Each structure stands twice: as C-alpha cells, then as structure tokens.
C-alpha cells in the first residue's frame, strides 16, 4: 500500500512539474508561427459559438475537425478569457500525460529507465516547442503512447480487461486529428501483436480499427455535408485524404533523415543503440524482458516512420508519436547490465558529452549574443542571467562527476538530468524569446489599428491569401472586423472609400510607378518575419504621413 502511494506521488510530481514548465510565462506572450491559425479558430468560436468545423472569416475551415478548438473553447469558458496560456493548456496537459505514460512504460522494468526516458524527451527541442504551442500532433502522440502502455501492461500483468479502452482511444484520435489520429496508434498496436506472433488479436484489432475508421470517416463527411453541402464535403475529403497522397515534393526517406535534427538527442542516440540491440537480441540471443520491450519499441518506431513515409504530404511534426519510443530506446544504455559492453561504452560517451553540455551551450549563446550586438539586433534574452546560470550548472556537473565512487550509480542519471535542465532552460530563456522577437507582430498591429480607427478607414489586404499573412494581423487586432481582400491592381484602383491597404513589401514594390504615385506609405514594419507596407490613397490621409509614422 505504501509503495502504491509512493508511485502515485512520483507520477503526480512528474505530471504537475512538467505541466508548470510547459505553461510557464505563456499568458503574457503573443501568438506566433503556426499557432496563429488555431488562435483565430478559437477567437471565432469565442465570439460566435461552437460549430462542427473551425471558422475563419465566418466560413468553415475544412482541414481540421473542431474538436481541439472546442476543447480550448471550454478552457476559455472556464477561465473567462482567451490568451496564449488558455489555448496552449490542453496541449500542455497532453504533453505532461505523454511524459507520465512514457515513464510508466519504462518503470515496469526499472524506474531508472522510465526517468531517463523522460529526461531524453526534455532534451528534445521539438517536443518542448510542441508542448508550449497549439499542437494537434500531441493528440496522436499521447493516444499512441497510452495504447502501447495498455497492451504492454496487459501482457506484463496479465490484466486483459484494460484492452477495451483501446477502441475509445482510437475514436478520440480520429476526433482530434482526423484519419491519421486513428491510423497511427492502430499501426503501433498491430506491430506489437505481429512481433508477439499473436495473430488472433492482430486480426481482431486491425479489422475493428478499419471499421472504426470507415464509421468515423462517414460521420466526418456527413458533418461536412451538413455544414457546407457538396462543395465543403469535397474540400474536407481533399484536405484530410486526397491532398496528403498527391503532393509530390519530398523524398520517401524524408522522416528518416530530417528527424535526426528535429528529434535530437533521442533519435540520434536511439540510432546508436540500434546496432547493440540487433547484436545482443539476434546474435547472442539475450532475450531478457528489457530486450523484448526494446524490440517492441523498435516496431513502434519503424511502423510509424515507414507508414508516414507513404503519403506524399510530409512534415516532421507529423511523426511526433515516435518520440516516446525513441526516448525509451535511447535511455536503455543507462539500465543495461555490465555484461553488455557496447551499451557500457555508449553510456560512457554520453556521460562525457552531458558533462560538458552546459559549457557548449554557454559558448553558443555567447557567440549569438555578441554576433547580434555587432549588428545591433535585440536577441530577446538577458545574457548575464543566462551566462551565470549555465556557468553554475557546469560547475555542478564537474562536482557531481568528481564525487567518490559510492555515488557512481547516481552520477549518470544526475548528469543526464542536468543536461535535460540545460536544454529546457535554454529553450525557455533563449530559443523561445528569440523566436518571439523574430516573429513579433502585436505592437505593429495595435499601433496601426489605432491610427486606422482615427482615420475611419477599412482594413484591406492587397494580394494576400486569406490563409496566410492576414491571420497574423487579425489575431492581434484589438477589435474583430471583417477585412476586404483585393487580388490585383485593377481591384486596387477600383476600390473606393477610405482604406488602409496592408501588403507584403515585395507586392508593394511590384506596383508600377504610375499606380504607386497615387498612394502614400503610412508605415512599414515586419508582420511576423515578413516585411509589410501599410499604404492609403494620398487624398484620404488626414494628417501628415511623417507625423503618422512617428505616432506608430
């Protein structure tokens, strides 16, 4: 009973401490990058109520079901506001749950294994970035990890009743991520039963999942037809299915190569572990329970990487569900028996790398800071605090490494833990502030909107696609307003009435001189990382443009 309470306490500490890390400081941040589109979905639902599909410009958007938006909407209703903390909270909870489940998978054999796997996930910048953003890929990630835990723990403890929870999880995967949200965990389950040579469960699970996929797809298309008729139904079918298999621009091996950097350090270390697993499992026939789990984890990784390589539409974030398995594989050398010399050597190399990691990061940030200062660029982080923190971590690493032999068993996970802390703090204090600085838009939009309101002008986007740059502008507007979109020079010349025209600087520079002569630049700045120009007809500007730019 005492051991069970202790385990529950450890799980609670892991979950809530990681949740705090994933949400720390978000409420004061502005939305940037890929989150902009989802933030607009939430704003529309907050203003106009729930719908089956998310809305942009009061029109249903076909690429995603509204499930994740509705979950954020419920959080916003509970907290009474919409800001970055609210919209990221569901993803942060899922990320913390993923860490907890990964720990539980490893802890069935060794708590040290589970803890080291969690630390490898903290060493992965892509995971940290996803956990602190609106990430739909976190839904199949946590569902895939949960399904694997259910089937593996059922075999491990011979409690097969828990397997009934697999199918509701598959339905949730489809509800939140579409077809791939159901297909990915199904692939992992089938690979597990295939490696276990359990043909009966493989067939039953595969057939049931296929039926669920067909039923869920039918429901999705019925809702699409109900929302927008035949046209919207075909748009949903194209965005969710057809568009993903007819988009030839990336090679089939994309996930195997580009994931090396995106999922470092877990993926590169897992690749180094792989030859040892092959040798000890296939050649020396060391079929321990831990080695068998590694074989199932390799099946998890391979079925997702190969399966997701078949569709032509490829993005590294799509394969986020492989990370728990990669982290567990990468952590195996830290619990491997001394007889497995390959893993002992690998552990020795990693320990020395983690020993100097704070120093390496400190040198990198010093270079970035002084390089940015040379060109008068604000890097967005406090160098003195960062320098002091990483210098202190380096000193602590050396102290831990030089301790007496009686603490040797704790030395390696301690160095791994400090390495995970280094990367996590690096992301929070350096990487994320730099990204925010590069992609900033709020101040520009607020000041432009204040001037536009003074001039009683309409907001018009020139040659900008509604799904692109305008979204960054709209989510930072103090008040909601339906903008106007004009596509070419003839529409620009034909537009009547006071208006602020917003466009990319390149589009404005493409205007012929005789047309550009009729307009005056109100201001130019960057919207996100894109240079933009705000301009208006000369006769419709009430104040001197120099004064207006000064006000901005």
Q: Which residues pair with 533 in a beta bridge?
A: 503, 524
Buried b (16+ CB within 10 A) or exposed e, 136-156: bbbbbbbbbbbbbbbbbbeee
> CA-to-CA distance for 422 and 245, rounded, in angstroms?
40
> CA-to-CA distance for 74 and 93, rounded, in angstroms?
14
Q: Where are the alpha helices (DSSP H) in 24-165?
A: 35-48, 67-79, 84-107, 111-122, 125-131, 138-157
> CA-to-CA distance for 230 and 227, rounded, in angstroms?
9
Q: Any idea what the Cα angle at residue 34 is, between residues 29 and 39, rounded to 5°? A: 60
> CA-to-CA distance for 421 and 118, rounded, in angstroms?
12
Based on the number of CB atoms within 10 Å of its own CB, is 313 exposed (0-12), middle (13-18) or buried (19 or more)? middle
> CA-to-CA distance for 306 and 301, rounded, in angstroms?
9
* Cα 269–chain centre separation: 21
> CA-to-CA distance for 321 and 161, rounded, in angstroms?
25
> Is 455 within 8 Å of 547 (Cβ atoms)?
no
DSSP string, 519-547: EEEEEEEEETTEEEEEEEEGGG--S-HHH
Q: Is 137 helix (H, G, I), strand (E, B) or coil?
A: coil
> Is 154 within 8 Å of 46 (Cβ atoms)?
no
> Is 324 within 8 Å of 105 (Cβ atoms)?
yes
Q: Is 165 helix (H, G, I), strand (E, B) or coil?
A: helix
Would you list the domain boundaries of the chain? 2-249, 343-438, 442-551
Length of the chain as a residue count? 552
Q: In what order do the strands lie in the sheet with 499-504?
A: 484-486, 458-462, 499-504, 530-537, 519-527
Full pLDDT tens readout for the chain, 552 residues: 666 778 899 999 999 999 999 999 998 899 988 889 999 999 999 988 999 999 988 889 988 889 999 999 999 999 999 999 999 999 999 999 999 999 999 999 999 999 999 999 999 999 999 999 999 999 999 999 999 999 999 999 888 889 999 999 999 999 999 999 999 999 999 999 999 999 999 999 999 999 999 999 999 999 999 999 999 999 898 887 766 666 566 788 889 988 888 999 999 999 999 999 999 988 888 889 999 999 999 999 999 999 998 887 788 999 999 999 999 999 999 999 989 999 999 999 999 999 999 999 999 888 888 887 776 666 666 778 888 889 999 999 998 888 755 555 688 899 999 999 999 999 998 889 888 888 889 999 999 999 999 999 999 999 999 888 999 999 999 888 889 999 999 999 899 889 999 999 999 999 999 899 889 999 989 888 899 999 999 875 554 443 444 333
> Is 95 within 8 Å of 18 (Cβ atoms)?
yes
């Amino acid at each position: 009973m005492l051991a069970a309470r202790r385990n529950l306490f450890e799980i609670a500490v892991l979950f809530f401490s990681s949740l705090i890390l994933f949400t720390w400081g978000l409420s004061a941040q502005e939305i940037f990058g890929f989150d902009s589109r989802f933030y607009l979905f939430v704003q529309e639902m907050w203003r106009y109520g729930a719908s089956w599909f998310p809305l942009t410009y009061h029109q249903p958007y076909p690429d995603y079901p509204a499930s994740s938006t509705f979950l954020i909407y419920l959080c916003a209703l509970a907290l009474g506001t919409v800001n970055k903390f609210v919209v990221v909270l569901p993803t942060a909870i899922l990320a913390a749950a993923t860490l907890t489940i990964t720990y539980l998978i490893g802890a069935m054999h060794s708590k040290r294994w589970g803890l080291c796997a969690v630390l490898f996930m903290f060493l992965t910048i892509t995971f940290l970035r996803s956990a602190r953003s609106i990430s739909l890929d976190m839904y199949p990630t946590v569902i895939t990890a949960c399904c694997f835990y259910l089937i593996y723990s059922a075999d491990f403890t011979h409690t097969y009743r828990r397997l009934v929870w697999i199918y509701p999880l598959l339905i949730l995967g489809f509800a939140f991520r579409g077809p791939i949200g159901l297909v990915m965990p199904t692939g992992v389950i089938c690979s597990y039963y295939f490696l276990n040579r359990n043909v009966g469960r493989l067939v039953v699970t595969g057939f049931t999942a296929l039926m669920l996929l067909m039923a869920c797809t039918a429901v999705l298309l019925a809702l699409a037809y109900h929302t927008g008729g035949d046209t919207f139904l075909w748009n949903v079918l194209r965005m969710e299915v057809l568009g993903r298999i007819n988009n030839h621009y990336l090679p089939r091996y994309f996930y195997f190569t580009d994931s090396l950097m995106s999922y470092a350090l877990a993926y590169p270390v897992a690749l180094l572990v792989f030859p040892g697993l092959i040798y000890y499992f296939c050649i020396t026939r060391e079929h321990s329970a831990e080695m068998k789990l590694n074989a199932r984890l390799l099946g998890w990784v391979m079925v997702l990487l190969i399966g997701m390589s078949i569709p032509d539409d490829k993005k590294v974030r799509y394969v986020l569900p492989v990370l728990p398995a990669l982290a567990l594989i990468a952590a195996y050398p830290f619990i491997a028996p001394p007889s497995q010399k390959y893993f002992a050597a690998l552990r020795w190399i990693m320990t020395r790398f983690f020993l100097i990691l704070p120093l390496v990061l400190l040198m990198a940030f010093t270079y970035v800071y002084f390089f940015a200062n040379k060109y008068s660029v604000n890097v967005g982080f406090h160098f003195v605090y960062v320098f002091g923190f990483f210098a202190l971590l380096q000193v602590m690493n050396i102290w831990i490494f030089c301790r007496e032999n009686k603490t040797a068993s704790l030395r390696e996970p301690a160095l791994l833990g400090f390495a995970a802390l280094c990367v996590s703090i690096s992301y929070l204090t350096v990487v994320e502030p730099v990204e925010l600085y590069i992609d900033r838009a709020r101040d520009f939009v607020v000041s432009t909107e204040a001037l536009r309101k003074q001039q009683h002008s309409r907001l018009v986007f020139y040659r900008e696609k509604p799904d692109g740059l305008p979204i960054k502008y709209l989510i930072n507007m103090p008040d909601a307003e339906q903008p106007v979109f004009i596509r070419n020079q003839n529409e620009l010349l034909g537009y009547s009435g006071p208006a602020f025209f917003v466009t990319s600087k390149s589009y404005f520079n493409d205007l012929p001189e005789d047309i550009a002569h009729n307009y005056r630049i109100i201001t130019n700045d960057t919207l996100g990382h894109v240079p933009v120009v705000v301009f208006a007809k000369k006769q419709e500007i009430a104040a001197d443009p120099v004064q207006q730019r000064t006000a901005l």
